[in-house]
Amino acid sequence: MNDRQIDERRGALYLSSDRGRLDLDAVLAMLHDSHWGGGVTRDVLERAVENSLCLGVYHGDRQVAFARAVTDLATYAYLTDVIVAQDARGQGIGSWMVDALLRHPDLQGLRRIALLTRDARTLYEKFGFTTDPPRSTYMELRKAI
């Protein structure tokens, strides 16, 4: 563990930013169950994990949640793949991960933290995320993959 890693316990649950602890098969299974991650391959997930700041939440040996921030560690972060296993939802794990990412020592002082969500707005609004920032228009270049 290094100083900039997050390791926290809540009852039987353990949250960690240690990439080495991630169970990529469990993450892939959760993503394949989501409305956005059905097409993610193991190779793509491995590259994404390697190049993101990642969090896992564990119940014993079982990984029950995952989230990551794509970031330059200086000005910007994009939170994505925030997901909790179906049978572990509604216990505050999603909120814990968002809170932990926002507290992470490597994500302090950024100018902008962004995310896209279809139906989990209330989760993020609790932490101050808003829609429609003034004087800006969201644009994207979409690629079919």
Ligand X SMILES: CC(C)(COP(=O)(O)OP(=O)(O)OC[C@H]1O[C@@H](n2cnc3c(N)ncnc32)[C@H](O)[C@@H]1OP(=O)(O)O)[C@@H](O)C(=O)NCCC(=O)NCCS
- Bridging pattern class, strands 76-84 and 7-10: unpaired
Check binding of 125 to ligand X (CB under 6 A). Answer: no
In the bound state with ligand X, the residue whose beta carbon lies nearer, of 93 and 101, is 93
Cα–Cα distance measured from residue 45 to residue 10, given in angstroms and rounded to the nearest whole number: 27
Which residues from 59-88 bind ligand X, rule CB under 6 A? 82-84
Check binding of 131 to ligand X (CB under 6 A). Answer: no
| DSSP 8-state class, residue 88 | G
Under 8 Å between Cβ of 66 and 72: no
In the bound state with ligand X, the residue whose beta carbon lies nearer, of 135 and 142, is 142
Size of the site for ligand X (CB under 6 A): 16
Cα–Cα distance measured from residue 42 to residue 28, given in angstroms and rounded to the nearest whole number: 7
Check binding of 95 to ligand X (CB under 6 A). Answer: yes
Cα–Cα distance measured from residue 61 to residue 100, given in angstroms and rounded to the nearest whole number: 20
Which residues from 21-60 bind ligand X, rule CB under 6 A? 34
In the bound state with ligand X, the residue whose beta carbon lies nearer, of 2 and 122, is 122
Q: Which residues bind ligand X (CB under 6 A)?
A: 34, 82-84, 89-95, 117, 119-120, 122-123
